[in-house]
Chain A
Amino acid sequence: MSGGSARSLAKGSEPPGPVPEGVIRVYSMRFCPFAERTRLVLEAKRIRHEVININLKNKPEWFFKKNPFGLVPVLENSQGQLVYESAITCEYLDEAYPGRKLLPDDPYEKARQKMIFELFSKVPSLLTSFIRRQNKKDCSDLKEEFCKEFSKLEEVLNTKKTSFFGGSSPSMVDYLMWPWFERLEVLELNDYVDHTPKLKLWMAAMKKDPTVSALLIDAKTFNGFLDLYLQNSPEACDYGL
């Protein structure tokens, strides 16, 4: 159904046709954490969807008509409507599709999730800095910055006294943050959450969530991708296929 293992489309490829009725399309890349947010929501809400993977190192020209910024994820529905920016795609899906609601109905609780999400905002760029660092042995400065950001999240869990950031089961903000914590494990940085025990427990609990397990990345495949990606190889995005 999801087609998440399809080869990516690159420069010179034909633009895909319109999206069939009853399906929503996500332009994605198998290892992109931002696109993973959207795929987690699609999975959690069991939304019928198709995946078109984009070669981010050799983008098709037609892709800029889907998103002028040329970034994934992008949603396209059968009316030709396009939605981009990962957090916006996630909220759109929650509002447009019935079934399990990932954002609370209560206006304050919804705002609370967004304030928590804001606390997380520095983490993606920190992970990018780590990945791009040549000498991975000397990352004590980065580790310190990570720990500072993680303490903010730990404090939320301490105050709320729940296993997940929205309550007793995973909700929107958990899925929005998860892809980066998933990559901490795969990059063997588990010690970064040593000083934040509740966050560590949260990671373990997330891994047991059916939605998360369905999309969990294999460490070897991810590292294979990363090596090629850092060398700007056009083969990176399809590694493992």
Chain B
Amino acid sequence: MSGDDTRTLGKGSCPPGPVPEGMIRIYSMRFCPYSHRTRLVLKAKGIRHEVININLRNKPDWYYTKHPLGQIPVLENSQCQLIYESAVACEYLDDAYPGRKLFPHDPYERARQKMLLELFCKVPPLTKECLVALRCGRNCADLKAALRQEFCNLEEIGMWFLFHRTLRRLILDYQNSAFFGGDCISMIDYLLWPWFERLDVYGIADCVNHTPALRIWMAAMKRDPTVCSLFVDKNIFLGFLNLYFQNHPNAFDFGLHC
């Protein structure tokens, strides 16, 4: 249904037609962590959608009419409204679509999730820098140390929110209160997850060695049905990375059959 696994559109491709009623379209790329956030929300909320994958190294000219800088993800609905910035797109979906709400209703709990997201903000650029350094054969001990520090902060402050609220419960149920928003998975978990899914394939899984609560959270996330349904096979991801770092034009379509 979701059509995640479609070939990318590149330069010279025809612009896609309007989005049919009752659907929303996401411009994406199968291995992009930012798009991954939005695809997790689409899946978690059961939103009917179509995916158009973009060749990020050879972007179609028409794509700049969807995003001024040609970035992904972008949502496009049947009223031709465009929404970008991955976190903004995720919040838009939660607001606009009925059913399971991923953000809490309470204003303070919502604010708390957004503060946690802010706390996380150095992780994406750091993981990317580690990946690039490793792939280029450079030493990245300093980068990894910086990443470990960010994870410690996340564990300390992020988990502190849980401690503050349910201290007694936490001592009893440490294994169960595993998510950043409480007992159940919610928006903040999906917003953070894509980078943690990539730690192993980027070669930096040891960066969570000193953060046991984060490891418990990662294990719980891997059991979530939405996360599982979008999980990318390690070999396919590695195949993509290999081609990407060799500047291969078809890197983004690695693993597709047809």
Contacts and interface: CB of A to CB of B under 8 A. Distances in A.
B81 A108 contact: yes
B92 A96 contact: no
A84 B92 contact: no
Interface stretch (B5-13, B103-111, B230-238): B103-111
Given A85-B118, A88-B115, A108-B96, A115 B107 contact: no
Contacts of B197: none
B230 to A, nearest CB: 23
A91 B92 contact: no
A117 B236 CA distance: 37
Nearest to B109: A81
B157 interface: yes
Interface stretch (B58-66, B82-90, B198-206): B82-90
Contacts of A84: 115
A83 B111 contact: yes
Contacts of A111: 83, 88-89, 91-92, 95
A107 B111 contact: no
B110 A95 contact: yes
B114 interface: yes
Where chain A touches its partner, the secondary structure class is helix
Nearest to A67: B115
Nearest to A114: B88
Contacts of A92: 107-108, 110-111
Interface string A112-156: 001100100000000000000000000000000000000000000
A85 B81 CA distance: 29
B108 A81 contact: yes
Contacts of B107: 92, 95-96
A68 B154 CA distance: 12
Contact of B92 (A83, A85, A89, A108): A108
A101 interface: no
A110 interface: yes
A69 B84 CA distance: 29
A107 B157 contact: no
B155 to A, nearest CB: 13
B95 A110 contact: yes
Contacts of A108: 77, 79, 81, 83, 92, 96
Contacts of A68: 157
Interface in A59-102: 68, 77, 81, 83-85, 88-89, 91-92, 95-96
A199 B185 CA distance: 43
Give the 7 A-B residue pairs with the shortest CB-CB distance, closest first: A107-B95, A95-B107, A107-B96, A96-B107, A92-B111, A111-B92, A114-B88
Given A111-B95, A114-B88, A118-B88, 4 more contacts: A83-B111, A85-B115, A88-B115, A107-B95
6 contacts: A85-B118, A95-B107, A96-B107, A107-B96, A115-B84, A115-B88
